[in-house]
A and B are shown apart, each in its own frame.
Chain A
């Protein structure tokens, strides 16, 4: 069912893929760029879990870190490989933030996804591959991220940076900026 074509899709640097989910991760809004790139209609996306675009080559520990961070009320950045409906894949630089109500309670999550720079991907891909090789030793998804998350943490500790600092250090902040 989750077949892959090996074909990469992309979108314009001036475009942002936008989606909103409820606190359970079910999609409550997906913009036209999302619909076009992922190849789903709005009706197919609304109410579905965001994992509808999950690609099998994405390490689970990245999502675990992502969800833990936003559930704690903080923003998170991640380079994410997604799978379109037809089996094509596309890379995004995702920025996920919680939305708060007047009482500072999290009511939903928002994600803006931009085209990543290739240079950042050349750093990220080998890291994800090593995390995947750890996860493949386990069958159960929970065992998978429990095994790979310490590897991710260890990689960052050895580099002496926080996750955020690492992500920003490999990200060209001017990518897609209007001239």
Chain B
């Protein structure tokens, strides 16, 4: 930047500088986005027209305001893009359209900050949900285990009933062999046989119910695992959003 300015700087003889050409050049550079351009050494030089210094200062002033706005807006948006929302555009010295644009950027930053907070809350809630849901998965797993145990126990019960039944038949045979003396014992053996039959029918009913329970537990488990996958996917999406 300075090379250009040095070319044009002092050469104290009257009229040595072509102010209009310099002013045009500064304006052209600014229009190309070079906001470093300024007209230098205005006051210590002679001017053909008394209005000229005023015009040159006005050009510098316009550039100063534009430069300040661009630097402020850039900084604020860079910070916001990095997830830091405290860096607002300073409104001091900003007038008219500059002030309105600065206000819009600040409002957008404030909005982004709110959305970021809402996202953070949602993230925290999701983590809680994930934790609770994981507990639920354990409960369902424990329920399925317990059902399996009941099934085993009812099978043992059925086996015992069948053995008891066999035993009562043997007892009835032995009782019959002893004749009258064994009649009382035969009655007991026949009652035991009835109880064994009832026990067998009860255990068969339990096994039926257990089969239903096992089916229901399997369905519940599958549904829970499907929901779990959705929760986990949401979790990784949210983490990506947070990182972005």
B90 touches A95 (CB 8 A): yes
A14 touches B41 (CB 8 A): no
Q: How far is the CB of A155 from chain B (nearest CB, A)?
A: 18
Checking B41, B43, B67, B88 against A110 with a beta-carbon cut-off of 8 angstroms, the contacting residue is B67
User: B167 interface residue, CB < 8 Å from A?
Assistant: no
User: B38 interface residue, CB < 8 Å from A?
Assistant: yes
- Stretch of B94-102, B145-153, B187-195 contacting A (4+ beta carbons < 8 Å): B94-102
- Of A41, A43, A173, the most chain B CB neighbours within 10 A belong to A173
- Of A16, A31, A165, the most chain B CB neighbours within 10 A belong to A16
> Could you tell me the distance between the alpha carbons of A146 and B71 in the complex, rounded to whole angstroms?
31
A31 touches B60 (CB 8 A): yes
Q: How far is the CB of B5 from chain A (nearest CB, A)?
A: 7
Q: How far is the CB of A50 from chain B (nearest CB, A)?
A: 15
B58-77: CB near A (< 8 Å → 1, else 0) gives: 00110011011001100100
Residues from chain A with Cβ under 8 Å of B42 in the complex: 42
Q: How far is the CB of B63 from chain A (nearest CB, A)?
A: 9
User: A125 interface residue, CB < 8 Å from B?
Assistant: no
Q: How far is the CB of B154 from chain A (nearest CB, A)?
A: 64
B86 touches A18 (CB 8 A): no
Closest chain A residue, CB of each to CB of B65: A16
Q: Which of B27-57 contact A (CB under 8 A)?
A: 36, 38, 40-44, 57
B44 touches A42 (CB 8 A): yes
**A176 touching B1 in the complex, CB below 8 Å, given contacts A31-B61, A42-B42, A97-B71:** no
Checking A13, A41, A107, A176 against B44 with a beta-carbon cut-off of 8 angstroms, the contacting residue is A41
B87 touches A18 (CB 8 A): no
B43 touches A112 (CB 8 A): no
Q: How far is the CB of A66 from chain B (nearest CB, A)?
A: 15
User: B184 interface residue, CB < 8 Å from A?
Assistant: no
User: A28 interface residue, CB < 8 Å from B?
Assistant: yes
User: B91 interface residue, CB < 8 Å from A?
Assistant: yes
A43 touches B44 (CB 8 A): yes
User: B2 interface residue, CB < 8 Å from A?
Assistant: yes
> Could you tell me the distance between the alpha carbons of A139 and B64 in the complex, rounded to whole angstroms?
39
Q: How far is the CB of B90 from chain A (nearest CB, A)?
A: 6
Residues from chain B with Cβ under 8 Å of A174 in the complex: 91
Q: Which of A119-171 contact B (CB under 8 A)?
A: 164-165, 168-169, 171
Closest chain A residue, CB of each to CB of B96: A178
A176 touches B75 (CB 8 A): no
B91 touches A32 (CB 8 A): no
Which residues of B pack against A, CB within 8 Å? 1-2, 5, 36, 38, 40-44, 57, 60-61, 64-65, 67-68, 71-72, 75, 86-96, 99, 106
Which residues of A pack against B, CB within 8 Å? 13-16, 18, 20, 22, 28-29, 31-32, 41-43, 46, 75, 93, 95, 97, 99, 107-108, 110, 112, 114-115, 164-165, 168-169, 171, 173-178
